[in-house]
Chain A
Amino acid sequence: MFSYYAKLALLSLKRNPLLSSLMVGAIALGIGVSMTTLTLYYVMSSDPMPLKSDRVFAVQLDSWSPDEPYYERDGGAPPPQLTYRDAMALMGSDIPTHHATMMHRGFAVRTDNKDLRQEYKSGRATYAGFFPMFDVPFIYGAPWTQSQDEAAARVVVLSRATNDKLFGGRDSVGEVAYLDNEPFRVVGVIDTWQPMPLFYDLNNGAFTETEDLFVPFTVPISKEQGAHGSTNCWKPEMIESYQDFLQSECVWVQHWVQLDTAEQRDAYQSFMDGYATEQKALGRFQRPLDNRINDIMSWLEFREVVGDDNRLLVVLAFMFLVICLLNTVGLMLAKFLNRAPLIGVRRALGASKKDVAFQHAVEVFLIGVLGGLGGLLLSYLGLLAVRNWYRGYEYLAKLNPEMVLTAIFLAIVAAIIAGLYPTWHISRIQPAVHLKTQ
């Protein structure tokens, strides 16, 4: 029966191609627009590290001005970064499974190969704990060691792309790369690794590429270099030397910890609060105690990674989908009712209401599937346009299998919702009325 109805539905679609394409087109457009905005939203709000995101935490200490909070919202919140001295105090803790202070910084990079032009590469200065904490995959070598951290050893971990460029993709462990004209020994090469959003440092945008190379945090410190990011200060204090800056109340480094158990988390919270209380005695931390650890998802929410723009677009896109559905309801109803005399005859010949409803439901389903496929094509084109319009969205605006399934599912649900009333209406036709007028 189904295949017969499917044939009837196809015939019915062919009989009135303009109207059919209008219905399919309306659903396709509605789906296309909604899926484009939804895909953007979905990727922006997705979990960058699903296996561990509830065990890895961004640390906030409230060392800000006694006069005003860093963030006004929610009755005040601590700054998103730490002062150097506080981060160093936290690095002294042995509670976390892994932990790392970090900053973003660029380096001029070359090798002994004279054919390659010296190039500017983005880098992250951090501690050895960074790699196991964030499950960074290595192709060659391994992270540097803790003692190399302490010694500010000139060692570097390269990204796969950087290793391809500098060393032609070979195992470069033990070779030398020059960073700002100083020799660094390569200790490891990581595989392509692109958490999205790039949660651990949101200063330069949440949807940027991971760094080209990694060096010990102590290296730029020993060279008296600052971060390429955001530095915020509240206290009027004389900063005349790099040491003054390190001791100042300026916040400019990020600090992450891995705490696997509830005991660790409690212990770490009391460790932070204890440290802050100790500092209060020294005249610092004059705000009420507000020290926080935020797991990755709450961190992304706190930093408002999904912009208002994207929410607004999703809202408008779904209103658009509703308009498209209303459109389809009207057209289907008109189309079905036009066929009322025919249905009258079928009913008179013994078809039940259920049969009639089923026949039309099949047609509705067909429209839904076609609309869904059209919608997929349109969302693909839509995302192509978005990639073109937004630089740095190359990683975002891509259809993934989940979204493809969602699109088809959404289209069929939409078509069924749109077809519900017309189908119900047509199945209630009184055969007598329509037979009379023949």
Chain B
Amino acid sequence: MEFRPIISTLFRNKTGAVLIALQIALTMAVVVNAVVVIEDRAATMAKPTGVDDDRLIAINIASLADEVDVRAEYEQDMAAVRAVSGIESVSKIETLPLSNSGSATSYHISDDPTSASTNVAYYRVDHAALETLGVEITRGRWFREDEIVFDPPDGHDSKVTVIADFVAEEMFGDEDPIGKYMYTSLGTGIEVIGTYDLLSRPWYGWGEFYSTVMFPVVERNAPVVVRVDPLDRDRMVDTIETTLAAVDQERLVGDARTLESMIARTYQRDVAMNRMLSVVMLLVVLITALGIVGLASFTVMQRRKQIGTRRAIGAQRFHIVRYFLTENWIVTTFGIVLGLCLTFALNALLINEYNLPKLDPILLPVSVLGLWIVGLAATLGPARTAAGVDPAIATRSI
């Protein structure tokens, strides 16, 4: 291999090589750090909610009357929706995972308000919610129908609760949580009658994602949540809204939407950020590759005579191709070494300023390999043009 002549050629014509190396270095820093952000967001968004996202539809209901018999209204609405064909289950549930609206509070392990506490997001649900949401009971039992409290006054707490396995472990460790009590900060005890596997909070980013509990309560104006077959879902949205609107003309019924659309809305900033970063990443690589093509083409044009001479004194076509590929590889590798430093520097800055996660070490070999391939692929075209230079050119203009 002709490393020595290549390197001495590079030294005679530094500027172009330095520019390419700098581009490669910056490209690496931008791409690797963009991937760190994208991976971080994607990991957040990939966390399951614990319910069947693709099967649920929610419809808002608001009664304007001063006094409403919440239980009677509940029975009426449930009956109306159940009469629609294709309904798997229907409930009134205060909020849904990742719908971005809900409440959280802290519960203590004893009636002493200074005792250890765990912050939980709570769901107020009816007895059908287990089937509607598709959550699994892991220990103890689920709410009985007669335990449901309708429209309790402010400040009323349920007497029983079903909690997430995550919360059971937080509060009671390895002990059996069934029959234990959790306490409000005013010292009211609530009995734990069961645990379930997984249910995320109505939002993300604040508090433990799976720290949730459920209470058997149906509030006034709680949304109707319907479980349907995923294939029928989009068709059912309007049907159910119309059905509920017909129950009582005096109520406002609307805003029917699928859980998936609510989740998409909750994550829209992250999705948009990832898209923008992906576009920037693609463009960066594209620009750098085109830059390499442009510069390599020029080098080839400038060196036509020398190439012709080499060919005339016996170099094969593949020698010429190899020469240019090796030259590019050396420049790219210089860029990569510089790029590694830049990548770490930028990552450190981003960790500091924007709470970005540390970069995954596997990204480095992958990006090095990727940049080598991009560099070589970009040089291949001009190198083949160079190989096509007629040896006779050497004899012509000297």
Residues of A at under 8 Å CB distance from B? 18-19, 22, 25-26, 29-30, 33, 37, 108, 118, 120, 180-181, 236-242, 244-245, 307-309, 311-313, 316-317, 319-320, 322-324, 326-327, 329-331, 333-335, 337-338, 385-386, 389-391, 421, 425
Question: Are B294 and A324 interface neighbours, CB within 8 A?
Answer: no
Query: Can you add 12 more A-B contacts, CB < 8 Å, to A245-B154, A323-B288, A390-B272?
Result: A19-B294, A181-B64, A244-B154, A312-B350, A323-B27, A326-B26, A327-B19, A330-B23, A331-B291, A338-B301, A389-B276, A390-B268
How close is B305's CB to chain A, nearest CB, in angstroms?
10
Q: Quick one: which of A312, A326, A421 contacts B22, CB cutoff 8 A?
A: A326
Does B8 make an interface contact (CB < 8 A)? no
Report the nearest B residue to A36, measured CB to CB: B276
- Distance, CA A30 to CA B27, complexed state (A): 13
Report the nearest A residue to B274, measured CB to CB: A389
Interface residues of B in 290-304 (CB under 8 A from A): 290-291, 294-295, 297-299, 301-302
B271-299 interface bits toward A, Cβ cutoff 8 Å, 1 = contact, 0 = none: 11101110110011001101100110111
Give chain A residues whose Cβ lies under 8 Å from the Cβ of B356: 312
Does B155 make an interface contact (CB < 8 A)? yes
> Among B30-38, B133-141, B167-175, which stretch is in contact with chain A?
B30-38
Given A240-B155, A331-B294: A120 and B252 interface contact (C-beta under 8 Å): yes
Report the nearest A residue to B249, measured CB to CB: A118
Chain A interface mostly: helix
Report the nearest A residue to B397, measured CB to CB: A437
Give chain A residues whose Cβ lies under 8 Å from the Cβ of B113: 236
- Distance, CA A313 to CA B34, complexed state (A): 9
Does B82 make an interface contact (CB < 8 A)? no
Does B185 make an interface contact (CB < 8 A)? yes
Does B20 make an interface contact (CB < 8 A)? yes
The A/B interface has a contact count, at CB < 8 Å, of 139
Question: Are A333 and B16 interface neighbours, CB within 8 A?
Answer: yes
How close is B39's CB to chain A, nearest CB, in angstroms?
14
Given A316-B30, A326-B22, A330-B16: A389 and B275 interface contact (C-beta under 8 Å): yes
Give chain B residues whose Cβ lies under 8 Å from the Cβ of A307: 269
How close is A308's CB to chain B, nearest CB, in angstroms?
5
How close is A334's CB to chain B, nearest CB, in angstroms?
4
Question: Are A330 and B254 interface neighbours, CB within 8 A?
Answer: no
Given A236-B184, A319-B26: A334 and B273 interface contact (C-beta under 8 Å): no
Question: Are B291 and A236 interface neighbours, CB within 8 A?
Answer: no
Question: Are A334 and B30 interface neighbours, CB within 8 A?
Answer: no
Give chain B residues whose Cβ lies under 8 Å from the Cβ of A120: 62, 252, 254-255
Question: Are A33 and B280 interface neighbours, CB within 8 A?
Answer: yes
Give chain B residues whose Cβ lies under 8 Å from the Cβ of A239: 154-155
Question: Are A238 and B155 interface neighbours, CB within 8 A?
Answer: yes
Top 8 closest pairs, chain A to chain B, by CB: A236-B185, A334-B298, A389-B272, A327-B291, A330-B19, A308-B354, A240-B155, A326-B23
Q: Quick one: which of A26, A180, A320, A322 contacts B280, CB cutoff 8 A?
A: A320
Does B153 make an interface contact (CB < 8 A)? yes
Given A26-B291, A323-B284: A236 and B26 interface contact (C-beta under 8 Å): no
Q: Quick one: which of B265, B298, B354 contacts A312, CB cutoff 8 A?
A: B354
Question: Are B268 and A391 interface neighbours, CB within 8 A?
Answer: yes
Give chain B residues whose Cβ lies under 8 Å from the Cβ of A337: 302
Given A319-B26, A334-B298: A108 and B62 interface contact (C-beta under 8 Å): yes
- Distance, CA A403 to CA B6, complexed state (A): 46
How close is A32's CB to chain B, nearest CB, in angstroms?
9
Q: Quick one: which of B252, B272, B353 contacts A386, CB cutoff 8 A?
A: B272
- Distance, CA A424 to CA B291, complexed state (A): 21
Does B355 make an interface contact (CB < 8 A)? yes
- Distance, CA A37 to CA B280, complexed state (A): 11
Report the nearest B residue to A32, measured CB to CB: B283
Given A33-B283, A313-B276, A317-B280: A236 and B186 interface contact (C-beta under 8 Å): yes
Give chain B residues whose Cβ lies under 8 Å from the Cβ of A320: 30, 280, 283-284, 287
A-B contacts, 22 listed (Cβ < 8 Å): A22-B290, A26-B291, A108-B62, A118-B252, A308-B355, A312-B37, A313-B273, A317-B280, A319-B30, A320-B30, A326-B23, A327-B287, A327-B294, A330-B23, A334-B298, A389-B271, A389-B272, A389-B275, A389-B276, A390-B269, A421-B15, A425-B15
Given A26-B287, A312-B37, A312-B350: A334 and B295 interface contact (C-beta under 8 Å): yes
Give chain A residues whose Cβ lies under 8 Å from the Cβ of B22: 326
- Distance, CA A334 to CA B19, complexed state (A): 11
Of A30, A118, A244, most B-chain CB atoms within 10 Å? A118
Give chain B residues whose Cβ lies under 8 Å from the Cβ of A324: 287
Of B62, B64, B254, most A-chain CB atoms within 10 Å? B64
Does B190 make an interface contact (CB < 8 A)? no
Does B29 make an interface contact (CB < 8 A)? yes
Given A322-B26, A335-B298: A391 and B265 interface contact (C-beta under 8 Å): yes
Given A33-B280, A319-B26, A327-B290: A309 and B254 interface contact (C-beta under 8 Å): no
Question: Are B287 and A323 interface neighbours, CB within 8 A?
Answer: yes
Given A312-B354, A322-B26, A390-B268: A108 and B64 interface contact (C-beta under 8 Å): yes
Of B34, B153, B255, B294, most A-chain CB atoms within 10 Å? B294
Interface residues of B in 340-364 (CB under 8 A from A): 346, 350, 353-356
Give chain A residues whose Cβ lies under 8 Å from the Cβ of B19: 326-327, 329-330, 333
Give chain A residues whose Cβ lies under 8 Å from the Cβ of B298: 19, 331, 334-335, 338
How close is B245's CB to chain A, nearest CB, in angstroms?
10
